[in-house]
Structure 1
């Protein structure tokens, strides 16, 4: 389990990370494990690149593909369309 992600959710801080070759700023909302056992992060990307070309919006990232992760001092606000108990996760470590 990644403690930086957990601390960012508890502290409501934006994360800066690299994912699949792109720098991104994301607002972490939920962190858990999927049915295949992979750790995943439900987040809202506010800026940066994306293979899909969609640089803003909801993302579900596999934590094993995250590189160069750090917590920023920027605070996040829970998105109004966020739903707790993400169905993609069979086990939730942290959530807003």
Structure 2
């Protein structure tokens, strides 16, 4: 189990934003799906609402590889509903640990 798993799954279950330290940047995200991709990497699929990004896009859908995450902090801020583009049981994941709507 990842050291961040309980925090991430709690955020997903309670629809609370996460502050994710990824590389050298902090990002505020709406977490949607957490699990393993087909290559065996642990991923968080989230919609980034603010912060920096290597791509230059500060908002939008992102996959965060958990081996590059240095910290995860549960925010008091909530989001009301999944993003309209969200699809349960995303095919990018070989194994889903937790996702919105569970």
**Interval of TM-score (by shorter of Structure 1 and Structure 2):** over 0.9
* Distance across 2 between alignment mates of 1:4 and 1:86: 21
Divergent runs of 4+, >2 A: none
Is 1:81 aligned to residue 97 of structure 2? no
- Give the match's secondary structure for 1:72: strand
Q: Which runs of 5+ in 2 are unaligned?
A: none
Q: Which runs of 5+ in 1 are unaligned?
A: none
* Distance across 2 between alignment mates of 1:38 and 1:4: 18
Task: Calculate the aligned-residue CA RMSD, in Å.
Answer: 0.9
* Distance across 2 between alignment mates of 1:54 and 1:6: 25
TM-score (norm 2): 0.90
TM-score (norm 1): 0.95
Partner of 2:58: 55
Aligned residues: 96
